[in-house]
Structure 1
Amino acid sequence: MDFAMGFSRSRQGHDAIWVIVDRLTKSAHFLPIRQTDPVDRLAQVYVKEIVRLHGVPKTDGQSKKTIQALEDLLRLCVLDFGGSWEDHIPLIEFAYNNSFQSSIGMAPYKALYGRKCRTPLTLTEVGDRQEMGATFVDETVKKVNLIKERLKAAQDRQQKYYNQKHRFIEFQVGDFVYVKVSSMKGVSRFDRVSKLSPRYVGPFKILERIGKSTYWLLLSDQMSDVHNVFHVSTLRKWISDSGKKVSADEVEIQENLRYEEEPELILAYDVRKLRSKQIPMVKVQWKHRSAREATWEKESDIRKSYPYLF
């Protein structure tokens, strides 16, 4: 999972942080970038900082709670460190990767390397103080403690929001569950995420419970490229509305648990009038959706992508 957040410009000229998180171990990399960086520049950063260490990873989904907690953490730290925030990115990344994650029952560092890490907080030993300088050691410990406080505040706040909106669900090994997937309309390169309601594929058998809220599923052959460990928030034991189910045999589920929704029929035509122009629109019936979920799209986009409908 990856996403970028904009900030005030640092002394080095960067104004955004590119966050890349491994779904299984929860380990993260925070990469300072410019929002105006071209694709080839971002590709160089990706190879240098990610591929160099981990090879070419598969993209995958990530929980909204994790994203929001990381956004909160980084925004709080940027406020604390002002224009020098980029200088402290390594310490922020280190503090996050060495904090306990309840979903995996350990710190991301231990999940990734199989052992605990000696943190900067141990630099108070006499030998380290003499070798690295007492002032440097004291400042580093002070900053790491501040970052840890900000991380706990961000996690506590997001956990509070999450608990208010979600009820606790628990499954047993051997239960059959459905997995939530989202669809991409695919009519525009700027419309990556569909506004349509989610669908569910399955059922799949639970093989193992990992931690308090993560489950290992036995997926079908059609979903062989999808990572088979899921957070409980993406699972459903049963669905009363059969219209929300979709078969993995009917659609191609991608690694990020999305599939491309195809239009089936044009239901109506209209023109959206703006101040200086008029935009022809069409009401589209999607293949795996009910008539109530039909959406209005630009006629030019639909004609270009699906000329057979006309």
Structure 2
Amino acid sequence: MECLYGLPRRFYSDAHPFSSAEFSEHLSAAGVQQNIAPPHTHFCVGAAEGAVRRIKRQLHFMANEEGSNWLPCLPKIAFMINNSVMPDIKVSPFAALHGFIPRLSLDNLLAPLRSVSLEAKMRELAADREQLRVDLMHYRERMKRFSDAKHQRVDFQPGDKVKLFHPGSPFGWKRGGFSGPHDVVQRLNEQTYLVRYPVRGRLEDRPVHAWNLERYHLPADD
């Protein structure tokens, strides 16, 4: 990425990464003179070492104060460093690279994408959201079909033998399950039947919902 303010004619460095052969070749190809100077001289203000120290102090502070919650603070640290005006170039590093002053931490992430069409990115995002909506609709339909197949209502007639579901005790002293056979006495409506079953040793007729009933099948003879 090239600086929008143009390339310098002379480059002073006080950091080892800037003295690599690959970086020197790029500077030579661009016609930039590179001078390696020790830090804190009149040729170099120690900007690289100062930036490293600032980053290190901020990371230590976040790690000590926030504990394991310091990762979300990294964009704020990057925003602070990128938006700090450097005395030698009179602008911030972010403004030197991208040509504008960042206002939000999100600008640090969006700036490299400014060369890419943001409209294309928004179209991709809209397509992903539409696909997610379609997938969610298919998932709901599939779960509805599964629930309907699992909870098919069975019609009973008076005199049928059925099994009655007992939910059991929430404290575990009584287990839930089906008991029977019991007799269907009367059909009260589409979902409720009058079933005769023992309650405290006595047979009583009580209304039962259809979801709590199962058809009783005689055990097969061995």
Q: Tell me the TM-score normalized by structure 1.
A: 0.19
Q: Which has the higher strand share?
A: 1
Greater CA radius of gyration, 1 or 2?
A: 2
Q: Tell me the TM-score normalized by structure 2.
A: 0.25
Highest RCO, 1 vs 2 (Cα 8 Å, sep ≥ 6): 1
Q: Which has the higher helix share?
A: 2
